[in-house]
């Protein structure tokens, strides 16, 4: 398979979320958005805009571009999640100082801005590596395991993996590595050795890895097997979005049908995971796990900010893993230790609402240069929790 480098065209587009629907049609195509940061910290956020909240004359048969107060065009990405060829949403990244309010202009344009970037977000199905599904941004990379990996295990053949856990690929470069690392494996090399870009030395096995799920009942964790189907909904410079589905699985006599929608944005250590479960009877919980491996690391939990984390020695460095969730969704945090291989975990036992649970999973690798101590990693988790609890306020203004 020929490797295709990630060269994404950035189109200038706009962004709106459901907030103020006060903006009626404008006298000429154009609008403005006021962004307000209510926190006492600087933040870079992905702002998301529903195009249907705009006057259709603004974007019909044209493109949109957004400019900051200095007139600079902001890179953005359109999202067409239903695949009908018409974008429903536009996203862009904004950086706001503590307590800052800034204005972004939304303008109609007949041109596109074709900018090539070496960074970005990316995901794909990997049939050449027994059906992995892998995703990444400029900071972190992940993978999980598909049907061919399960078939090999079921038929007692070598090389398979039976797990719905999530693997961490420890990258320390800001450009995409997924295609390059898999190509190494095809050509006799290995991504289990660090040649300067990072490596995969994170063991998943039968564990939940970094953020896999199950249902805790009768002092046991019930889990699905490998994913069976996938659907990529967006793949771009600012956001990648896809869905994984799993074969029906059992929690005692209850049948569970599971879908995960996973989003990864540029510039973050975390993926967003939206779990949807259709069941034949109510479930007591949805439990999110972080493997403790050989149990030689430190654990920490913050029930106020809704996160749990593990900081462990890993070869010649350290790795911090973590899960963030809305504190109101938590039933309890639980540490489970055993001598059985791959079964020691930090758990977040959460209550599903209408069969749904949303959380964030991710990691920080000391060797990547951003987190040289457990305290810095947990400070990141706390700050992200604060940002999630207090999103940037959006107000639409006539122009």
The CA distance from 267 to 46, in Å, is 9
User: Do residues 231 and 128 share a domain?
Assistant: yes
pLDDT for residue 108: 79
Q: The domain containing residue 50 runs over which residues?
A: 31-112+393-398
The CA distance from 250 to 54, in Å, is 45
168-187 average pLDDT score: 95
Domains held by the chain: number? 2
The CA distance from 253 to 237, in Å, is 44
The tens digit of pLDDT for each residue in 238-264 reads: 999 999 999 999 999 999 999 999 999
Q: How confident is the model at residue 65 (pLDDT cuts 50, 70, 90)?
A: confident
pTM of the model: 0.90
Examine the pLDDT at 5 and tell me if it is beyond 80.
no
User: Do residues 35 and 157 share a domain?
Assistant: no
**Could you give phi then psi for residue 26, rounded to 5 degrees?**
-100, 155
The CA distance from 41 to 44, in Å, is 10
User: Do residues 45 and 139 share a domain?
Assistant: no
Give alpha helix (H) positions in the chain.
Answer: 56-59, 147-154, 178-186, 374-389
Using DSSP, state whether 281 is helix, strand or coil.
Answer: coil
The CATH number covering residue 47 comes to 2.60.40.1180
- Stronger pLDDT, 74 or 40, i.e. the higher one: 40
User: Do residues 273 and 185 share a domain?
Assistant: yes
- DSSP class of residue 115 equals B
- Stronger pLDDT, 30 or 37, i.e. the higher one: 37
Would you state the structure tokens that stand for residue 316, as one six-digit string? 């010649």
Top mean pLDDT of 2-16, 110-124, 155-169 is at 155-169
User: Do residues 287 and 212 share a domain?
Assistant: yes
The CA distance from 333 to 99, in Å, is 33
For residue 237, being part of any structural domain is answered with yes
pLDDT for residue 17: 36
Whose structure tokens read 């856990």?
165
Examine the pLDDT at 372 and tell me if it is beyond 60.
yes
Percent of the chain with pLDDT over 70: 88
The tens digit of pLDDT for each residue in 95-117 reads: 999 999 999 998 877 765 434 46
User: Do residues 210 and 249 share a domain?
Assistant: yes
The tens digit of pLDDT for each residue in 304-343 reads: 999 999 999 999 999 999 999 999 999 999 999 999 999 9
User: Do residues 315 and 270 share a domain?
Assistant: yes
Residue 60: partners with Cβ closer than 8 Å, 6 or more residues away: none
pLDDT for residue 63: 73
The tens digit of pLDDT for each residue in 257-283 reads: 999 999 999 999 999 999 999 999 999
Q: Please, what is the average pLDDT of the chain?
A: 89
The CA distance from 188 to 97, in Å, is 48
User: Do residues 160 and 252 share a domain?
Assistant: yes
114-128 average pLDDT score: 81
For residue 388, being part of any structural domain is answered with no
For residue 349, being part of any structural domain is answered with yes
User: Do residues 221 and 283 share a domain?
Assistant: yes
The CA distance from 99 to 36, in Å, is 7
For residue 323, CA distances in Å to 114, 278, 291, 308 come to 36, 23, 11, 6
Examine the pLDDT at 297 and tell me if it is beyond 60.
yes
Tell me how many degrees the CA angle 175-178-182 measures, rounded to the nearest 5: 140
Q: What is the dihedral of CA 23, 20, 53, 33, to 10 degrees?
A: 70
Would you state the structure tokens that stand for residue 191, as one six-digit string? 């991504």
Find out whether 91 and 238 touch, Cβ atoms under 8 Å.
Answer: yes
pLDDT for residue 298: 98
The tens digit of pLDDT for each residue in 195-228 reads: 999 999 999 999 999 999 999 999 999 999 999 9
User: Do residues 128 and 82 share a domain?
Assistant: no
Lowest mean pLDDT among 28-32, 79-83, 87-91, 320-324: 28-32
The CA distance from 79 to 241, in Å, is 9
Task: For the chain, give percent helix, strand, coil, nearest 5.
Answer: 10, 45, 45
pLDDT for residue 62: 66
Examine the pLDDT at 237 and tell me if it is beyond 70.
yes
For residue 7, being part of any structural domain is answered with no
Examine the pLDDT at 18 and tell me if it is beyond 60.
no
177-205 average pLDDT score: 93
The CA distance from 159 to 163, in Å, is 13
- Stronger pLDDT, 86 or 310, i.e. the higher one: 310
Number of Cβ atoms within 10 Å of the Cβ of 353: 11
pLDDT for residue 57: 59
């Amino acid at each position: 398979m020929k490797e295709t480098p990630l060269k994404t065209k950035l189109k200038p587009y706009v962004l709106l979320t459901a907030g103020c629907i006060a903006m009626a049609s404008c006298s000429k195509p154009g609008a403005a958005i006021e962004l307000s940061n209510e926190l006492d910290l600087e933040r870079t956020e992905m702002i998301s805009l529903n195009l249907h909240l705009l006057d259709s004359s603004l974007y019909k048969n044209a493109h949109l571009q957004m400019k900051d107060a200095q007139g600079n065009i902001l890179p953005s990405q359109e999202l067409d999640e239903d695949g009908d060829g018409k974008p429903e949403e536009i996203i862009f990244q904004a950086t706001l100082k503590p307590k800052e309010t800034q204005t972004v202009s939304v303008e109609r344009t007949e041109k596109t801005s074709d900018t090539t970037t070496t960074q970005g977000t990316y995901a794909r199905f990997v049939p050449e590596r027994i059906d992995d599904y892998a995703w990444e941004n400029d900071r972190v990379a992940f993978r999980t395991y598909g049907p061919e990996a399960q078939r090999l295990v079921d038929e007692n053949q070598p090389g398979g993996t039976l797990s719905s856990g999530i693997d961490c690929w420890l990258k320390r470069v800001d450009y995409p590595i997924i295609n390059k690392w898999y190509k190494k494996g095809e050509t006799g090399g290995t991504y289990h050795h660090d040649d300067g870009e990072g490596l995969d030395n994170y063991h998943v096995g039968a564990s939940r890895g970094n953020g896999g799920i199950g249902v805790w009942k009768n002092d046991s964790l019930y889990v699905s097997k490998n994913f069976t189907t996938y659907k990529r909904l967006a793949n771009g410079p600012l956001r990648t979005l896809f869905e994984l589905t799993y074969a029906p699985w059992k929690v005692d006599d209850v049948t569970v049908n599971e879908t995960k929608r996973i989003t990864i944005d540029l510039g973050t250590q975390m993926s967003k995971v939206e779990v949807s479960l259709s069941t034949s009877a109510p479930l007591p919980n949805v439990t999110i796990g972080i493997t403790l491996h050989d149990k030689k690391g430190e654990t920490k939990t913050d029930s106020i900010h809704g996160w749990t984390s593990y900081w462990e020695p890993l070869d010649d460095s350290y790795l911090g893993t973590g899960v963030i969730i809305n504190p109101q969704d938590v039933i309890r945090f639980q540490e489970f230790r055993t001598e059985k291989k791959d079964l020691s975990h930090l758990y977040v036992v959460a209550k599903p609402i209408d069969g749904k649970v949303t959380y964030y999973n991710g990691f920080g690798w000391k060797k990547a240069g951003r987190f040289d101590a457990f305290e810095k990693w947990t400070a990141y988790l706390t700050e992200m929790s604060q940002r999630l609890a207090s999103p940037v306020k959006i107000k639409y203004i006539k122009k």
